[in-house]
């Protein structure tokens, strides 16, 4: 009806019902999801023009035409095309103006949210008079810009704190975390909830009632303390200050966005909306062009690309996974499988150990239930998918069998042979070894074409990477099926070629080895850890030794040393000495640090000074953080490039993904290859040459680095 409401755009269609309630259907053609782009803003402006113009329209409903997806945020491809901060600021100001027009339209507006409302999508909703969200499992609201090194540039830093309070808003914007429907209603982010099929009708009813004056939006009550805290300048200043300190502690100042977010909120709340919006637009423009944001955005795209299985057509369905070994790794693999709908048969030497694996799964899953992420029934279904056994026979129906038995070549060959005796000919066998070359494990296999490596990282449920290792014999079907299994488990998958330590273990082992060499030279443990945390790793190398287990590290050193040795590498054998002294790290409560078990969690205590006796005594020389960072960081970066040169890695992007999502390489640096690109290959080569002079040929820059340095080229375009 109402022909004067017809729009020229096909991004939004406008329906007006007999009651004068306009519905703006947001539905970008030929796209799976709606995003905020310049074209969408134009369409919104036109729709608002029409709403202003048409006197029969009394109120409006903003709703998505997509299936369970509102607006997922700004179009990142568009952001990449901006030439200067001024362009970005202009976009931000345009969004601000649009939201102001919605707010001053004189006709109430209702955002009807089904599925994710993220970033710019949520900011549009914040401009509306009223918000209704569905109880759909996919409905979530977030301002995740900080995860891309940005801030909410569509008025989010201003309108969110005004709606849900300063503390809640800061938490949302500084973490980027998802807010699910029930909580969204509790904190006042949305006004009402409804089931998905009733959304449009409910939104129209709300719009009509708002227009009639029979409904006024009620702000959710803040708690008494929050209200008091946010009511005066003095205590608000404390809130900003504490948020700043917390952020600094977490990010070591490596990320420019969080302090800017806090400042925007502060200026907006203390000096007024206009001042806040101005600052938001300015900082948004600045942040888009920071190397940190560019690195994070590139990782985002790389991760998205890795979600597509390149060999999709070769994949066989994965209904059941067999796991051999019910230790921490095996149980972790079982958990991520069962949580994603795959049946798991978990085998160990006896039923008690296998059942221990099931208990580990329960421990992990039950934590989510107590947090309200899963219902009791969902927990039951997940845990019931995991069947502990002490015999190979029940593996007969498995589509993929993953071994997670101790790192011992003979043992791995034995479990492979025992498994092959019972599984189907087309079932895949994967080894979760962290260092033994897959070809060696597969050497005596009946079907070497189905053998590959599926290298998970501990703790499996938390670390996103899965490194697939293929040998020359591995079939496409096996790779494709394992890739699909990894995607089902929610993993970011990279495929690498076989070799000692493959990619991740190789570069990590050399980095960790270098940390031990530093200690041998007299470095201080805490200084070493602090320096690498400052550089951007989630923990320092010695804390990491304690976490993975010094015995495990010693085993890897032994395997890697034998296979990489002979060359220029200088391998420290101190991990083996520590392991022999039963200083294994967290599992014995004593390693480089002392640990204390507390309620099932392990808490880090003081430095274990005693370990210095393995490294030349308690006398330590202070090293400046920059030296430590160069020694360790460049060791890893150079090793990564060598993996590409040696054909272990298939692309620099895989190298970046593997290092960031498997090893915790600082995300704001974008990965080793992105880091070289940013620093310039020539500069890296120069530093490596200096290190070679000082510390030996293990630092010799890889030839690929030299090539890029000479040609002035980079790994990524």
Partner 1 sequence: MATAQTHGRSVVLVDGCRIPFQRSGTRYVDLMAYDMGRMVLKGLLTRTGLDPDAVDRVVMGCVIQDVETSNVAREAALGASIPKHVPAFTVTMACISSNQAITSGAELIQSGQADIVIAGGTETLSDPPIRVKRSVRKRLFEARKAKSPRDYLQLVKGLSPSDLLPESPSIAEYSTGEVMGESADKLAAMFGVSREEQDEYALLSHERAAAARDDGRLAKELVPATLPPTFDPVTTDNTIRDDSTLEKLRQLSPVFVKPFGTVTAGNSSPLTDGASATLLMSAERAEAMGYTPTARLREYTYVAQDPGAELLLGPAYAIPKVLDAAGLTLGDIDVFELHEAFAGQVLAVLAALDSDAFATDTLNRASAVGAIPMDKLNTRGGSVSLGHPFGATGARIVTTAANRLHEEDGELALMAACAAGGQGHAILLERVAS
Q: Looking at the annotation, which residues are catalytic?
A: 467
Q: Tell me which residues in 205-234 interact with partner 1 (CB under 8 A).
A: 205-206
Residue number with CB closer to partner 1 (204 or 260):
204
Q: How far is the CB of 108 from partner 1 (least distance, A)?
A: 15
Cis peptide before 556 (omega within 30 of 0): no
Q: How far is the CB of 513 from partner 1 (least distance, A)?
A: 52
Give the DSSP letter of residue 448: G
**Candidates 158-166, 187-195, 342-350, 647-655 — which segment interacts with partner 1 by CB under 8 A?**
187-195
How far apart (Å, rounded) are the C-alpha atoms in residues 445 and 658?
Answer: 28
Asked if 194 touches partner 1 (CB under 8 A), the answer is yes
Among 97, 192, 351, 564, binds partner 1 (CB under 8 A): 192
Residue number with CB closer to partner 1 (180 or 665):
180
How far apart (Å, rounded) are the C-alpha atoms in residues 683 and 665?
Answer: 20
Q: How far is the CB of 331 from partner 1 (least distance, A)?
A: 26
Q: How far is the CB of 323 from partner 1 (least distance, A)?
A: 27
Kindly report the three-state secondary structure assignment for every residue of 637-665.
HHHHHHHHHCCCCCCHHHHHHHHHHHHCC
Residue number with CB closer to partner 1 (201 or 312):
201
Q: Tell me which residues in 376-405 interact with partner 1 (CB under 8 A).
A: 377
Residue number with CB closer to partner 1 (53 or 195):
195
Residue number with CB closer to partner 1 (206 or 466):
206
How far apart (Å, rounded) are the C-alpha atoms in residues 574 and 364?
Answer: 34
What are residue 303's phi and psi, to 5 degrees?
-65, -40
CA torsion angle 51 53 58 59 (round to 10): 10
Q: Tell me which residues in 234-263 interact with partner 1 (CB under 8 A).
A: none
**What are 133's strand-pairing partners?**
113, 193
Report yes or no: 399 and 318 within 8 Å, Cβ to Cβ.
yes
Among 201, 227, 312, 690, binds partner 1 (CB under 8 A): 201
Q: Which of 667, 679, 658, 676 lies closest to 716, judged by CA?
A: 676
Q: How far is the CB of 109 from partner 1 (least distance, A)?
A: 17
Q: Tell me which residues in 553-572 interact with partner 1 (CB under 8 A).
A: none
Report yes or no: 79 and 151 within 8 Å, Cβ to Cβ.
no
Among 375, 408, 703, 713, binds partner 1 (CB under 8 A): 375
Asked if 79 touches partner 1 (CB under 8 A), the answer is no
Provide the greatest CA pair distance for the chain: 86
The interface mask with partner 1, positions 114-143, x = CB under 8 A, is ------------------x-----------
Cα distance from N-terminal residue to C-terminal residue, the chain: 51
How far apart (Å, rounded) are the C-alpha atoms in residues 69 and 62?
Answer: 13
Report yes or no: 557 and 548 within 8 Å, Cβ to Cβ.
no
**Candidates 197-205, 462-470, 559-567, 661-669 — which segment interacts with partner 1 by CB under 8 A?**
197-205
Residue number with CB closer to partner 1 (191 or 399):
191
Report yes or no: 327 and 678 within 8 Å, Cβ to Cβ.
no
**What are 595's strand-pairing partners?**
604
**What are 26's strand-pairing partners?**
12, 64
Q: How far is the CB of 467 from partner 1 (least distance, A)?
A: 36
Q: How far is the CB of 382 from partner 1 (least distance, A)?
A: 13
Q: How far is the CB of 18 from partner 1 (least distance, A)?
A: 14
**Candidates 3-11, 13-21, 201-209, 643-651 — which segment interacts with partner 1 by CB under 8 A?**
201-209
Asked if 68 touches partner 1 (CB under 8 A), the answer is no
Among 50, 61, 202, 287, binds partner 1 (CB under 8 A): 202
Q: Which of 14, 197, 212 lies closest to 112, judged by CA?
A: 197
Cα atoms in the Cβ-side hemisphere of radius 13 Å centred on 555: 14
Q: How far is the CB of 60 from partner 1 (least distance, A)?
A: 17
Who's near 513: CB < 8 A, 6+ residues apart?
557, 569, 570, 571, 572
Report yes or no: 539 and 666 within 8 Å, Cβ to Cβ.
no
**Candidates 198-206, 231-239, 246-254, 348-356 — which segment interacts with partner 1 by CB under 8 A?**
198-206
Q: Which of 231, 218, 103 lies closest to 167, judged by CA?
A: 231
Taking each helix axis as running N to C, give the angle between helix 504-520 and helix 525-535, from 0 to 180 degrees, rounded to the nearest 10: 140
Burial (CB < 10 A; 0-12, 13-18, 19+), residue 620, is middle
**Candidates 121-129, 196-204, 232-240, 345-353 — which segment interacts with partner 1 by CB under 8 A?**
196-204
How far apart (Å, rounded) are the C-alpha atoms in residues 458 and 421?
Answer: 29
Q: Tell me which residues in 265-324 interact with partner 1 (CB under 8 A).
A: none
| CA distances for 150 relative to 240, 246, 506, 528, 534, angstroms | 19, 18, 33, 30, 21
Residue number with CB closer to partner 1 (380 or 693):
380
**Candidates 200-208, 248-256, 438-446, 676-684 — which segment interacts with partner 1 by CB under 8 A?**
200-208
Size of the site for partner 1 (CB under 8 A): 13
Among 53, 77, 182, 197, binds partner 1 (CB under 8 A): 197
Give the DSSP letter of residue 148: G
Residue number with CB closer to partner 1 (64 or 431):
64
Q: How far is the CB of 381 from partner 1 (least distance, A)?
A: 8
Residue number with CB closer to partner 1 (68 or 311):
68
**Candidates 191-199, 383-391, 477-485, 657-665 — which segment interacts with partner 1 by CB under 8 A?**
191-199
- E strand or H helix that includes residue 364: helix 351-370
Where does this chain bind partner 1 (CB under 8 A)? Answer: 132, 192, 194-198, 201-202, 205-206, 375, 377
């Amino acid at each position: 009806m109402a022909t004067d409401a017809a729009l020229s755009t096909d991004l939004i269609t406008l329906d007006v019902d007999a009651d004068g309630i306009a519905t703006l259907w947001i539905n970008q053609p030929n796209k799976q999801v709606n995003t905020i782009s310049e074209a969408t803003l134009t369409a919104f402006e036109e729709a608002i023009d029409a709403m202003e113009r048409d006197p029969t329209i009394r109120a409006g409903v903003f709703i998505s035409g997509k299936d369970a997806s509102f607006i997922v945020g700004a179009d990142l491809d568009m952001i990449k095309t901006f030439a200067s901060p001024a362009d970005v600021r202009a976009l931000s100001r345009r969004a601000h103006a649009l939201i102001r027009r919605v707010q001053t339209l004189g006709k109430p507006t209702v955002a009807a949210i089904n599925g994710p409302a993220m970033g710019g999508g949520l900011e549009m909703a914040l401009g509306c008079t009223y918000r209704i969200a569905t109880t759909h499992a996919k409905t979530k609201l977030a301002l995740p810009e900080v995860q891309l090194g940005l801030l909410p540039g569509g008025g989010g830093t201003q309108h969110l704190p005004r709606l849900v309070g300063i503390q809640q808003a800061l938490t949302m914007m500084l973490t980027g975390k998802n807010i699910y429907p029930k909580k969204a209603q509790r904190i006042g982010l949305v006004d009402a909830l409804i089931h998905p099929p009733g959304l449009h009708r409910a939104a129209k009813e709300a719009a009509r009632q708002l227009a009639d004056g029979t409904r006024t939006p009620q702000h959710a009550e803040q708690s008494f303390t929050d209200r008091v805290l946010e009511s005066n300048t003095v205590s608000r200043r404390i809130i900003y200050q504490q948020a700043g300190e917390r952020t600094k502690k977490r990010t070591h100042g490596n990320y420019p966005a969080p302090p800017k977010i806090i400042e925007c909120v502060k200026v907006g709340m203390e000096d007024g909306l206009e001042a806040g919006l101005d600052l938001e637009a300015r900082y948004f423009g600045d942040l888009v062009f920071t190397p940190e944001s560019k690195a994070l955005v590139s990782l985002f795209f790389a991760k998205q690309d890795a979600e597509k299985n390149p060999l999709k057509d070769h994949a066989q369905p994965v209904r059941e996974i067999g796991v051999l070994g019910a230790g921490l790794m095996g149980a972790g693999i079982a958990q991520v499988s069962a949580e994603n709908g795959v049946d798991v048969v978990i085998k160990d030497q006896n039923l008690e150990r296998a059942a221990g694996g099931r208990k580990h799964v329960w421990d992990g899953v039950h934590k989510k239930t107590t947090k309200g992420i899963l219902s009791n029934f969902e927990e039951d279904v997940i845990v019931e998918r995991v069947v502990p056994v002490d015999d190979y026979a029940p593996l007969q129906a498995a589509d993929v069998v993953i071994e997670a038995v101790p790192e011992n070549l003979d043992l791995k060959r034995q479990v492979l042979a025992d498994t092959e005796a019972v599984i189907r000919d087309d079932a895949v066998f994967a080894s979760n070894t962290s260092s033994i070359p897959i070809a060696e494990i597969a050497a005596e296999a009946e079907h070497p074409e189905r053998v590959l490596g599926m290298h998970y990282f501990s703790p499996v449920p938390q670390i996103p990477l899965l490194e697939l290792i293929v040998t020359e014999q591995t079939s496409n079907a096996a790779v494709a099926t394992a890739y699909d299994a990894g995607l089902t488990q929610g993993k970011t998958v990279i495929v690498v070629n076989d070799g000692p330590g493959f990619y991740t273990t190789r570069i990590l082992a050399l980095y960790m080895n270098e940390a031990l060499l530093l200690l041998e030279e007299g470095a201080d443990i805490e200084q070493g850890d602090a320096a690498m945390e400052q550089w951007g790793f989630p923990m320092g190398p010695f804390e990491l030794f304690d976490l993975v287990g010094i015995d495990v590290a010693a085993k890897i050193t032994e395997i890697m040393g034998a296979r990489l040795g002979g060359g220029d590498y200088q391998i420290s054998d101190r991990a083996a000495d520590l392991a022999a002294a039963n200083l294994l790290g967290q599992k014995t409560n004593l390693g480089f640090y002392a640990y204390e078990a507390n309620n099932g969690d392990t808490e880090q205590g003081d430095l274990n000074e005693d370990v210095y006796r393995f490294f030349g005594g308690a006398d330590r020389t202070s090293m400046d953080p920059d030296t430590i960072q160069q020694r360790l960081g460049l060791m890893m970066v150079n090793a990564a490039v060598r993996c590409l040169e040696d054909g272990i890695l298939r692309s620099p992007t895989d190298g970046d993904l593997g290092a960031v999502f498997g090893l915790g390489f600082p995300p704001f640096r974008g990965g080793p290859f992105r880091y070289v690109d940013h620093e310039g290959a020539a500069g890296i080569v120069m530093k490596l040459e200096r290190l070679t002079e000082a510390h030996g040929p293990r630092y010799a820059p890889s030839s690929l680095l030299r090539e890029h340095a000479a040609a002035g080229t980079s790994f990524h375009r």
